[in-house]
Amino acid sequence: MNSETIDAIKPWLNFIHPVLMWGIFALTLYAGYLGYQHRQTRLATGEEKKQLIKGKFLARHHQAGSVILASMVIVSIGGMGVTYLNNGKLFFGPHLLAGLGMMGLIASSASLVPFMKNGNDTARYTHIALNTVLVGLFGWQAVTGVQIVQRILSSMFS
């Protein structure tokens, strides 16, 4: 690839991170739903429990969580890389700090899974609390990310 081609696509790289993060946000909400359904399965009895078990909510929750963890870390690093590539620096501010915090929250939440498998309720409630905070931050990140995209678009077309 020559430098003219790279210069032509560089500004458009700014949009990969937000599009992928919106997808990860949607998957995060779905994983929350699956976790809730697994909890309902654990608390159910009799025929209701038999029906809920067929949904395999725990396995699906774990799979979604694994995809979210890997994707969030990779796409966040990619977003920082593109920002640095296009601007020669990272913009130190709330969006960056909350994003880094989100990566810490999701890693901490995932690290509790072995303890939850052993029936540790403290780990389970901590997992739920961390993920609730994560979803809240993610929603806020989505809003601030749209504001950043709007600034990028206005600078591209002005």
Q: What percent of the chain has pLDDT over 70?
A: 99
Identify which of 82, 77, 68, 89 has the alpha carbon closest to the alpha carbon of residue 138. 68
pLDDT band at 155 (very low <50, low <70, confident <90, very high): confident
Give pLDDT, residue 1: 63
The rounded distance, in Å, linking the Cα atoms of 99 and 25 is 12
Mean pLDDT of the 119-142 span: 97
Mean pLDDT of the 5-24 span: 88
pLDDT band at 5 (very low <50, low <70, confident <90, very high): confident
DSSP state of 45: -
pLDDT tens for 35-66 read 999 999 999 999 999 999 999 999 999 999 99
The 3 state secondary structure assigned to 50-113 is HHHHCCCHHHHHHHHHHHHHHHHHHHHHHHHHHHHHHHCCCCCCHHHHHHHHHHHHHHHHHHCH
Q: Across the chain, what does the average pLDDT equal? A: 93
Look at the chain and count its residues.
158
Give pLDDT, residue 6: 74
> Domain of 108?
3-156
User: What domain count does the chain have?
Assistant: 1
Residue 28 contacts residue 68 (beta carbons within 8 Å): yes
Contacts of 151 (CB under 8 A, 6+ apart): none
Give pLDDT, residue 13: 87
Give pLDDT, residue 43: 94
Give pLDDT, residue 14: 87
pLDDT band at 110 (very low <50, low <70, confident <90, very high): very high
DSSP letters for 118-136: TT-HHHHHHHHHHHHHHHH
